[in-house]
Amino acid sequence: MLPRLVSSLRLRPSAAPLAAATRCASSGNVDIRVPLNFWAGKRMRSQEKRNKEPVYEPATGRVLCHLEPCGASEVDQAVKDAKSAFGHWSKMSGMERARIMIEAALIIESRREEIAEMEVVNNGKSITEARLDVDSARLCIEYYAGLASTLAGQHVQLPGGSFAYTRREPLGVCVGIGAWNYPFQIAAWKSAPALACGNSMVFKPSPVTPVTAVMLAEIYAKAGAPEGLFNVVQGGQETGSLLCHHPDVAKVSFTGSVPTGKKIMEMASKGVKPVTLELGGKSPLLIFEDSDLENAVKGALMANFLSQGQVCSNGTRVFVQKHILPEFVEEVVKRTQAIEIGDPLAESTRMGALVSQPHLHRVLEFVEQAKKEGATVLCGGEPFVPSDPKLKGGYYMMPCVLGDCTDKMTCVKEEIFGPVMSVLSFDTEEEVLRRANDTTMGLAAGVFTRDVRRAHRVVEHLKAGSCFINNYNITPVEVPFGGFKMSGIGRENGQVTIEYYSQLKTVFVEMGDVDSLF
């Protein structure tokens, strides 16, 4: 049987007894003592003695566990096991693979609350959002299970009765490297298409949020996946480098920052390995004067404050047409001030803690820099200290709206990755399109307008991979997600992602004699 993670956790003595159907975890009362690496079908400790790194609980600032980074021997073992599993998994039919993936999705559904709680404890986001992340992971696995049996090639008739056909074949051992903002969801988004195509995967979570990826590994194993099909190795830059350079790794998929993405691409190029890169963004949100203001305000909040603003696709440059700027700003500030901040495991909380103390300081420094450059803090932008004593060491801040912003300000040009919205004004469509596209990144963009022709015209000219009309930050798994320019290469989700986890083989069949020139 698959052991529940909560049974492997040690609750502190101060934790109150838990009644039936109540929460299994509470902020400040979880210690993780079990290994977080996974290969050979079970949790594994690092084989060599290395310095363990503390992992913090964002809600309280206390140490949650200690990370055992993997070195060359552990990475090699995880890849070797994945290569062995690939031999069996790749020979199974799509229907056979699909059955195991569907079973994994059902297990995720049955453990939804447990997984969401651990995501909150390790990441700091609200339990409400964490549940949706778990749902997205489950839906992604279900979606690609449905595609697994549809993978097919093409038949081409040639002269004289000869013909050719194509075969879509798996790549081999794929590496997934995750980010800390959506730990469990990213592990599923990368593994589901890989496994559907017949690959195996070694996954490295962010060292900041190492807890939940191993739960997915256990779930795949419980569902009947071959031993070694989905392995987890923990660590930082050194571990990631070992994975990228490993000769038995066929592909690398990375989610994270632009600078790290460049390094991943460079390392993978040494072995001419394909990469999928889902990188950063500084996305524009365009709000025209004919917009439904209520929806535009809600869209701006969704574009900036999900997961404490720690979302790569966030529309942090909010361009508002001058005629409606005062009304928009008044309403968005009022609703931002009403966001409930606090214990991320509380049902009423809508904004939890940022992921780490250094990251909190970095975001606050952006706000200070914005003030120096002439922006006006309309609300928030300061540390927040909850009233609950156990949360006083947590990494909280008040969501911030900046007014009087200009295109040259640091807060408008650089990715902050925190709950900071920069509001800018514009006059004409032509002007705002030029300004919106004036960035090296192009992950996402959005437009609010009642004019259907304008909406499609504007989207056509926005240089971004994922565009939204009259909504924002909606990511159904059926739809491809990815960026233009320096925001990345390749796509996640949707049918097209099958092409990034498979390779095409062409077979020519001669039905007559060889027509030779010699």
Residue 243 and residue 96 in one domain: yes
**Start-to-end CA span in the chain (Å):** 66
pLDDT band at 407 (very low <50, low <70, confident <90, very high): very high
Print the domain residue range for 117.
37-280+497-503
Q: What is the mean pLDDT of residues 109-138?
A: 98
Q: Above 70 in pLDDT, residue 1?
A: no
Q: Which of 16-20, 62-66, 510-514 has the lowest mean pLDDT?
A: 16-20
Residue 165 and residue 69 in one domain: yes
Domain annotation covers residue 7: no
How does pLDDT run across 438-496, given as a tens digit for each residue?
999 999 999 999 999 999 999 999 999 999 999 999 999 999 999 999 999 999 999 99
Residue 374 and residue 419 in one domain: yes
Residue 263 and residue 293 in one domain: no
Residue 306 and residue 400 in one domain: yes
Domain annotation covers residue 32: no
Domain annotation covers residue 248: yes
pLDDT band at 22 (very low <50, low <70, confident <90, very high): low
- CA angle at residue 125 from 121 to 129, to 5 degrees? 115
Domain annotation covers residue 16: no
pLDDT number for residue 431: 98
Domain annotation covers residue 335: yes
Could you tell me the pTM of the whole model?
A: 0.94
Domain annotation covers residue 1: no
Q: Token pair 């210690």 is at which residue? A: 31
The answer to whether residues 66 and 49 touch, using CB atoms and an 8 Å cutoff, is no
Domain annotation covers residue 381: yes
User: Looking at residue 250, which CATH number applies to its domain?
Assistant: 3.40.605.10
Residue 222 and residue 291 in one domain: no
pLDDT number for residue 28: 78
Residue 202, phi then psi, degrees to nearest 5: -110, 125
Do the bridges between strand 30-32 and strand 9-11 make them parallel or antiparallel, or are there none, so unpaired?
antiparallel
Residue 241 and residue 291 in one domain: no
- Rounded Cα gap, residues 405 and 411, in angstroms: 8
Q: What is the mean pLDDT of residues 338-360?
A: 98
Q: Above 60 in pLDDT, residue 2?
A: no
Number of domain units in the chain:
2
Residue 207 and residue 290 in one domain: no
Element (DSSP H or E) covering residue 176: strand 173-177
Residue 255 and residue 358 in one domain: no
pLDDT number for residue 294: 98
Residue 255 and residue 402 in one domain: no
Q: Which residues are designated catalytic? A: 278
Q: What is the mean pLDDT of residues 344-349?
A: 98
Q: What is the mean pLDDT of residues 8-21?
A: 33
- Rounded Cα gap, residues 9 and 6, in angstroms: 5
Q: Which of 188, 150, 187, 190 is nearest to 174 (CA)?
A: 190
> What's the 3-state SS for 231-296?
EECCCCHHHHHHHHHCCCEEEEEEECCHHHHHHHHHHHHCCCCCEEEECCCCCEEEECCCCCHHHH
- Rounded Cα gap, residues 276 and 249, in angstroms: 14
Beta partners for 173? 200, 249
Average pLDDT, the chain: 94
User: Looking at residue 307, which CATH number applies to its domain?
Assistant: 3.40.309.10
Long-range contacts of 381-385 (CB under 8 A, 24+ apart): 381/420, 384/341
Q: For residue 261, how many other CB atoms are within 10 A of its CB?
A: 22
pLDDT number for residue 25: 79
- Rounded Cα gap, residues 31 and 319, in angstroms: 44
pLDDT band at 23 (very low <50, low <70, confident <90, very high): low
The answer to whether residues 43 and 213 touch, using CB atoms and an 8 Å cutoff, is no
Q: Above 90 in pLDDT, residue 47?
A: no
- Report helix, strand or coil for 27: coil
The answer to whether residues 378 and 405 touch, using CB atoms and an 8 Å cutoff, is no
- Report helix, strand or coil for 445: strand
Beta partners for 337? none
- Rounded Cα gap, residues 36 and 45, in angstroms: 8
- Rounded Cα gap, residues 404 and 406, in angstroms: 7
Residue 202 and residue 270 in one domain: yes
Q: Above 60 in pLDDT, residue 17?
A: no
What is each CA distance from 493 to 34, 103, 257, in whole angstroms?
32, 20, 20
Domain annotation covers residue 11: no
How does pLDDT run across 261-282, given as a tens digit for each residue?
999 999 999 999 999 999 999 9
pLDDT number for residue 331: 98
The letter for the amino acid at 81 is D
Element (DSSP H or E) covering residue 426: strand 420-426
Q: Above 80 in pLDDT, residue 162?
A: yes
- Rounded Cα gap, residues 47 and 257, in angstroms: 30
Alpha-carbon 206 to chain mean position? 11
Instruction: Give the percent of the chain with pLDDT over 70.
Output: 96
Q: What is the mean pLDDT of residues 44-51?
A: 85
How does pLDDT run across 213-259, given as a tens digit for each residue?
999 999 999 999 999 999 999 999 999 999 999 999 999 999 999 99
pLDDT band at 48 (very low <50, low <70, confident <90, very high): confident
Residue 359 and residue 256 in one domain: no
pLDDT number for residue 9: 37
Q: Determine the longest span between alpha carbons in the chain, in angstroms.
A: 88
**Better-scored residue on pLDDT, 31 or 202:** 202
Tally of residues, the chain:
518
How is residue 60 written in tokens?
């309280």
